[in-house]
Amino acid sequence: MPLAEDDPAAPGTIVGLGLFTAKDLQWDDRVEFSDEKTDAYGMPAMSIRYRLTERDHKMLERGRAQIVRWGKAVGEPIDERPFTMPFGASLHYQGSVRMGETDDGRSVCGPDSEVWQAPGVFVAGNGVIPTATACNPTLTSVALAVRGARRIAQELGR
């Protein structure tokens, strides 16, 4: 990719390399809704609660070393200091309405997306993915949504 408008680099001669890492999930990682504060839509304001574990830090370190190796393997790195996206800058948020096998208080919905505590309410999207996939979650979300949709269609007799 050209780095600037007047960059003489031919397309394809400069590439960006990026690595995703899966979060070491913790029971305390959660979205919290405020009883007092509201967001711009007047809905309960949310805060994301999570922390990086020792394993997360090791994984990030490994990723940074790996990306430099890969850069050298495919060409000449412009800069050997890879940057890490700031916390919360993930493109792949997951698990906010976790799917679980049983209603054991650790999940929001069952395997067919119906909310345990609200029969007839179905949730879909990345939020149902209960584990950290790190990369490209959309196909998984769609597959799980299809399962829920089939269940709804079955109940409607279609």
Ligand X SMILES: Cc1cc2nc3c(=O)[nH]c(=O)nc-3n(C[C@H](O)[C@H](O)[C@H](O)COP(=O)(O)OP(=O)(O)OC[C@H]3O[C@@H](n4cnc5c(N)ncnc54)[C@H](O)[C@@H]3O)c2cc1C
Q: Does 102 bind ligand X (CB under 6 A)?
A: no
* Out of 13, 131, 136, 154, the residue judged to bind ligand X by CB under 6 A: 136
Q: Which is nearer to ligand X, 66 or 90 (CB)?
A: 90
Q: How far is the CB of 45 from ligand X (least distance, A)?
A: 12
Residue of 64, 92, 147, 151 marked active site: 92
Q: Is residue 129 a contact partner of residue 95, using CB atoms and an 8 Å limit?
A: yes
Q: How far is the CB of 55 from ligand X (least distance, A)?
A: 23
Distance (Å, whole) CA 98 – CA 64: 30
Distance (Å, whole) CA 133 – CA 114: 22
Q: Residue 130: name the closest of 104, 157, 158 by CA.
A: 104
Q: Does 43 bind ligand X (CB under 6 A)?
A: yes
Q: Which residues are catalytic?
A: 92
